[in-house]
Amino acid sequence: MRVIFLKRCFLVLFWVWVISAGGVAAADQPSGPTRVIVGGYPFEPFVEENAGVSVAFTAFLNDMQKDYLFAYRQIPARRRYEQMSEGRIDMIFFEMPVWGWQDRMEQVEATPVLLSGAEVMVARTGDAMAAGGEAYFGDLSARKLALTLGYHYGFADYNADPEYLKARFDVVFSDSQRHSLRQLLAGGADIAIVNNAFLARQMRLYPELEQDLLVSMTPDQRYDLPLLVRRGGPISAAEMTDLLTRLSKSGALQTFFTEEGLDRFLEFKP
């Protein structure tokens, strides 16, 4: 009986050791890359129908390093603030703090500026030239405007509330800049407001637009686009800046934006 008891004690101790050793081994195993959810809403050329520069940039970041796994998630433009505050997303690429984040800066932090750009007013060339060219853009209250729902415009003091805009201007809303441009070309609006990166891409794809459209000399707004990061999230703005700095010094960042046709908008300086 004593021998059986000792054997049982030995077996118990043996399995305790195996489980403990397994636990230590498991604890020593690398946990894998940190997951970072990147939110994106329709904003050409950065997000367009689940594609665009933001989606490509997500894949680029994953290819260039292994510490973080960036996962793209499409969200509605007007829901981005709640998505960030609720922790459903951890960052947004190419987003200006002035676009509705002013009262929420305790929730987010920004990297240095990555891209620069501007939003410009465009009109059909024939209509604009018949009314004096650049003077056509002088009084927006006299024009029907094609705007993108949820966007912030300089002429409206960055107030994106559609009721506010409809009460003060003659506007027609769409869900993307692409549709705003189509409305303009089809005669459904007098002026469309789009960003110059999107317009440059469209003119490269459709060279005839250079003749069809007159672009205002004075932009509606100029913008500097950092990456906006949720405070307390899986990656900080400082850590993201370090990553961008490494990619910039290696030349990979410049190469990416050159391939996307946006190298002239790149502003990041490590």
Least confident of 21-25, 47-51, 239-243: 21-25
Point out which residues pair with 193 in neighbouring strands: 121
Q: What is the pLDDT of residue 167?
A: 96
Do 152 and 102 contact (CB within 8 A), yes or no?
A: no
Q: What percent of the chain has pLDDT over 90?
A: 73
Q: Check pLDDT > 50 for residue 26.
A: no
Across the range 23-29, mean pLDDT stands at 44
Record the tokens describing residue 126, joined without a space: 């024939």
Do 230 and 89 contact (CB within 8 A), yes or no?
A: yes
Q: Which of 229, 146, 216 minimizes the C-alpha distance to 181?
A: 146
Q: What is the pLDDT of residue 13?
A: 43
Q: Check pLDDT > 70 for residue 18.
A: no
Record the tokens describing residue 262, joined without a space: 């946006």
Q: Check pLDDT > 80 for residue 4.
A: no
- Mean residue pLDDT of the chain comes to 88
Q: Which of 93, 121, 96 minimizes the C-alpha distance to 195?
A: 121
Residue keyed to tokens 């900080």: 236
Rg of the Cα atoms in the chain: 26
19 versus 74: the higher-pLDDT residue is 74
Residue-wise pLDDT for 29-59, tens only, equals 457 999 999 999 988 899 987 789 999 999 9
* 37 three-state secondary structure: strand
Domains and CATH numbers, the chain: 34-114+226-265 (3.40.190.10), 117-222 (3.40.190.10)
Across the range 214-226, mean pLDDT stands at 93
Q: What is the pLDDT of residue 98?
A: 87
Q: Check pLDDT > 50 for residue 267.
A: yes
Q: Check pLDDT > 70 for residue 216.
A: yes
pLDDT band at 156 (very low <50, low <70, confident <90, very high): very high
Residue-wise pLDDT for 164-200, tens only, equals 999 999 999 998 899 999 999 999 999 999 999 999 8
Q: Check pLDDT > 80 for residue 9.
A: no
Do 41 and 95 contact (CB within 8 A), yes or no?
A: no
Q: Check pLDDT > 90 for residue 147.
A: yes
What DSSP character marks residue 145? E
Residue keyed to tokens 């960003």: 195
* Total residue length of the chain: 270
Q: What percent of the chain has pLDDT over 70?
A: 89
Residue keyed to tokens 């603030």: 81
Across the range 106-117, mean pLDDT stands at 95
Across the range 128-141, mean pLDDT stands at 93
CA distance 41 to 127: 32
Count the neighbouring beta carbons within 10 Å of the beta carbon of residue 258.
Answer: 12
Q: Check pLDDT > 80 for residue 82.
A: yes
Q: Check pLDDT > 90 for residue 217.
A: yes
Q: Check pLDDT > 50 for residue 27.
A: no
Q: Check pLDDT > 80 for residue 233.
A: yes
